[in-house]
Amino acid sequence: MPTPLVMEDGRLRVFFCSRDRHNRSHTLWVDLENGAAWKIIDVADEPVLSPSQPGLFDAEGIMPSSIIEFGGRLLMYTIGWTVRRDVPYHNAIGVCESFDGGMTWQRVSKGPVHAQGMLEPYFCGTSEVVLSDDGRSLEMYYMSATEWRDVNGKLEPRYHIRKSTSADGILWSQDNPVVVDYLDNEEGGIARATLLSKRGSSRWMWYCYRGIDGYRNHQASAYKIGVSHKGDDGIWQRLAGQRVFSEPAREDAFDSMMECYPINHHCDGKDWLFYNGNGFGQTGIGFAERAS
């Protein structure tokens, strides 16, 4: 799940996650030249964030999702993983802080900032955190699960996108509206919303969506990148069927079957979309330039 941050020396640090032999996710980074060539400069030789202690919300994995500077603090919102007996896994949203410009990160607390509760009965996952229109508060566009469905004897989660607000980046509203909902009962998930700008006034949003059955191995159901537009009434409308890429991927391309977890990055007057390829990113991270 690529999560970019422009460092003090101008290089682009893209945080991502990788799994260890126990299938637990760790957060690492790759440094790129911040420009269209995206030349690799350096790669982390060890994780900057690793799974926490048994019993905590991120004991089985921690993934980056969104980075923002707010109130003099540099914050990274993460996805914590645990395993359960009744369902395959559980997610919650945590937050970390950096005091050295993104070189190192520390958890703000042992617990999550968005998690299962009375108004969030299942789990929360990916998040995009942006400034409000007046810059005095934050908005979070996050993945919110609505059920676990039995699909051919296997429990599969369904989730869509909700919006939360916060005055300090730590305490978040709980009774949150749905901003991107399912198209039909066969849609399985909508995840990793990303806005065109880091402001709540942005009118364009991208995300990935998938079917409920066969999405791991079949192109028809696998994640694809979709787009929504916010009207004058403030309501997000899904542009169903709208092609995000001008051309389809080649059969031998890293994203021939799956496009997932997009995030927008602005550089040199242009907007770029970083995203994961096949196998939820096993084949790598790609980028695309937004057409003018």
DSSP 176-190: --EEE--SSTTEEEE
Q: Return the sign of the alpha-carbon dihedral for residues 133, 137, 143, 145.
A: negative
H or E stretch covering 280: helix 278-281
pLDDT tens sequence across 99-135: 999 999 999 999 999 999 999 999 999 999 999 988 8
Lookup: tokens for 203: 């009118």
Q: Which residues contact 259 (CB under 8 A, 6 or more apart)?
A: 208, 223, 224, 225, 244, 245, 249, 275, 276, 277
Which whole number is the average pLDDT over 146-175?
Answer: 96
| Structural domain boundaries, residue 253 | 3-289
Lookup: tokens for 106: 């520390």
Name the residue with tokens 């969030």: 120
pLDDT tens sequence across 199-234: 767 899 999 999 999 999 999 999 999 999 999 998
Q: Which residues of 5-44 are buried (b: 16+ CB within 10 A; e: fewer)?
A: bbeeeeebbbbbbeeeeeebbbbbbbbbebeeebeeeeeb
Predicted confidence at residue 267, as pLDDT, reads 84
| Domain count within the chain | 1
Which whole number is the average pLDDT over 54-73?
Answer: 96
How many residues in total does the chain contain?
292
Which whole number is the average pLDDT over 52-60?
Answer: 97
Give the side-chain half-sphere CA count within 13 A for 259: 22
Predicted confidence at residue 109, as pLDDT, reads 96
Predicted confidence at residue 41, as pLDDT, reads 94
- Taking residue 150's Cβ as centre, other Cβ atoms within 10 Å add up to 8
CA-closest candidate to residue 98, choices 156, 48, 171: 48
- Stronger pLDDT, 244 or 143, i.e. the higher one: 143
pLDDT tens sequence across 1-47: 999 999 999 999 999 999 999 999 999 999 999 887 889 999 999 99
Predicted confidence at residue 227, as pLDDT, reads 95
Q: What angle do CA 206, 208, 209 make, to 5 degrees?
A: 125
H or E stretch covering 94: strand 90-98
CA 200 to CA 18: how far, in whole Å?
31
pLDDT tens sequence across 233-292: 989 999 988 888 888 888 889 999 999 999 999 887 888 999 999 999 999 999 998 876
Q: Which residues contact 212 (CB under 8 A, 6 or more apart)?
A: 149, 151, 156, 158, 186, 187, 188, 221
Predicted confidence at residue 292, as pLDDT, reads 66
β-partners of residue 155 are: 150
CATH, residue 245: 2.115.10.20
CA 7 to CA 106: how far, in whole Å?
17
Which whole number is the average pLDDT over 45-56?
Answer: 97
